[in-house]
Amino acid sequence: MNKLQLRRYAKLLARTGVNVKKGQWVVVEAYLDQPEFVEMCVEELYRAGAGKVTVEWAHQPLTSLRYKYESQTTLEAFAKWEIEKLEHEKQELPAMLYLESADPDGLKGVDQDKFTAVRVARSKIVKPIRDDMENRYQWCIAAVPGKAWAKKVFPDLMVNTAVERLWDAILAASRADGPDPVRAWMHHNDELAARCDHLNRLKLTALEYRSSNGTDFKVGLIEGSMFKGGGEETVSGNYFNPNIPSEEIFISPKAGDAEGVVYSTKPLSYQGELIEDFSVRFEGGKVVEVKAKKNQALLEKMVSMDEGARMLGECALIGYDSPINNAGILFYNTLFDENASCHLALGRGFNECLRGFENMTKEEIKAKGINDSMIHVDFMIGSKDLEIVGIGRGGARVQIFKDGNWAL
């Protein structure tokens, strides 16, 4: 891989992704797959003004071994220093850069009952702290190739060739394959912002989805909510891009206001395993039935994590002819596949989609209709013939999507 282009990508993540501020602490979370690129990112973060950069490494095989040999009690327990670390991060608000490269099947064989129980138990400590940090710090999720992930995407290629091909695909999808990715993202953010402005002027109260695969679904929107896309701002005004790549325009719908059934159009990688060919049916705003040809039990566990896991936290709009979908690559990774076409998310909603959220309490935000949950799981529903109609005040109907693409 061209090291100059990787350097440009690293610069993009430092200056456009987390948009590090002078003297700021940055935490980089990465797997062991691309240490040389992580080094590039660290240097670019320092060049952008970071005062301190720390790297936290993870490795899926070690996670598998922990769940195989450690007791559930041991896995659930928090050491004093772990809680102190979380509290320190809440006070210092470091920028966070997450570099994904995990094998989509990397935790296959792990006891999912045990995995879920541990996650629920630890969330009782982690979630309140993370909730207090929400919208107060910059963060960015991006990706680098791992060997196992690359072979999953390109199974017919030799490992090294597959990694090179996945690098090419990641850079192209991330608009980081040209001479000036930072400038490319400035233009891209402007386009996404203009589309958000157009949608917000419609003052929609609901969205209706229909597709020949069986999707027939309606979801209500919150009065005073906003469509968002591309870059965001912390409550103190720091601009950043949380997802690279990103093609979506999204909104958090009204929790408890959803009826009908939706069918997935791409596999979902969840807790290190793939859920495939599934549907989700809603009644009274909540999931009442899920079906899957592969890993139905895991899907059932997912929607049972807590009360909010059965309600929607996001509706995201992406044209079927998006650059990522037109590349013809199934990434088996939500960061990319969710930006290929329309998706929904079960679980936690986004406070920032509500006008004036920064002046509201958590209870007021929830009362308005923003869903709360320990999970936020995106699943793809975009298809070539998907139609989406927006319902305006007074019942006016506006065609938002036709034949899978934007109609506006």
**pLDDT over threshold 90, residue 365:** yes
Structural domain boundaries, residue 139: 3-167
Nearest to 319 by CA among 220, 249, 241: 249
Each residue's pLDDT tens digit, 378-395? 999 999 999 999 999 889
**pLDDT over threshold 80, residue 209:** yes
277 and 161: one domain?
A: no
89 and 235: one domain?
A: no
Is 230 a domain residue?
Answer: yes
In this structure, is the dihedral angle defined by the CA atoms of residues 262, 403, 187 and 179, taken in order, positive or negative?
Answer: positive
The predicted model gives 229-254 an average pLDDT of 97
Q: For residue 393, what pLDDT is reported? A: 87
Gap between the Cα atoms of 305 and 125, Å rounded: 15
Is 176 a domain residue?
Answer: no
Q: For residue 54, what pLDDT is reported? A: 98
| Of the candidate ranges 5-14, 104-113, 167-176, 382-391, the one whose mean pLDDT is the lowest | 104-113
Is 121 a domain residue?
Answer: yes
In this prediction, residue 248 has a pLDDT band, given cuts at 50, 70 and 90, of very high
Each residue's pLDDT tens digit, 32-66? 999 999 999 999 999 999 999 999 999 999 999 99
Is 105 a domain residue?
Answer: yes
Confirm if 234 and 95 have CB atoms less than 8 A apart: no
Burial string for 244-275 (b: 16+ CB within 10 Å, else e) reads bbbbbbbbbbbbebbebbbbbbbbbbbbbbbb
240 and 360: one domain?
A: yes
In this prediction, residue 30 has a pLDDT band, given cuts at 50, 70 and 90, of very high
Geometric angle at alpha carbon 180, from 176 and 182, rounded to 5°: 75
Q: Establish whether the linkage from the previous residue to 267 is cis, with ω within 30° of 0.
A: no
308 and 226: one domain?
A: yes
303 and 378: one domain?
A: yes
268 and 352: one domain?
A: yes
Gap between the Cα atoms of 332 and 108, Å rounded: 14
204 and 330: one domain?
A: yes
Look over the chain and give the mean of its residue pLDDT values, rounded to a whole number: 96
370 and 400: one domain?
A: yes
Which one of 109, 136, 167 terminates a domain?
Answer: 167
Confirm if 75 and 110 have CB atoms less than 8 A apart: no
Gap between the Cα atoms of 248 and 385, Å rounded: 18
Number of domains comprising the chain: 2
Inter-axis angle of helices 112-133 and 80-92, nearest 10 = 40
Is 173 a domain residue?
Answer: no
358 and 302: one domain?
A: yes
Is 175 a domain residue?
Answer: no
235 and 384: one domain?
A: yes
Query: Helix, strand, or coil here: 38?
Result: helix
Is 207 a domain residue?
Answer: yes
In this prediction, residue 23 has a pLDDT band, given cuts at 50, 70 and 90, of very high
Each residue's pLDDT tens digit, 321-343? 999 999 999 999 999 999 999 99
Q: For residue 286, what pLDDT is reported? A: 98
Phi-psi group of 28: left, alpha or beta (phi > 0 → left; psi -120 to 50 → alpha; rest → beta): beta
Which one of 139, 167, 195 terminates a domain?
Answer: 167
Structure tokens at 43: 């240097």
Q: What's 105's domain CATH number? A: 3.40.1830.10
Which one of 134, 167, 200 terminates a domain?
Answer: 167
Q: For residue 394, what pLDDT is reported? A: 87
Gap between the Cα atoms of 248 and 231, Å rounded: 11
Structure tokens at 192: 């996404």
The predicted model gives 259-278 an average pLDDT of 95
**pLDDT over threshold 90, residue 1:** no
The predicted model gives 123-133 an average pLDDT of 96
Nearest to 349 by CA among 403, 396, 313, 390: 313
201 and 161: one domain?
A: no
20 and 75: one domain?
A: yes
Gap between the Cα atoms of 140 and 242, Å rounded: 4
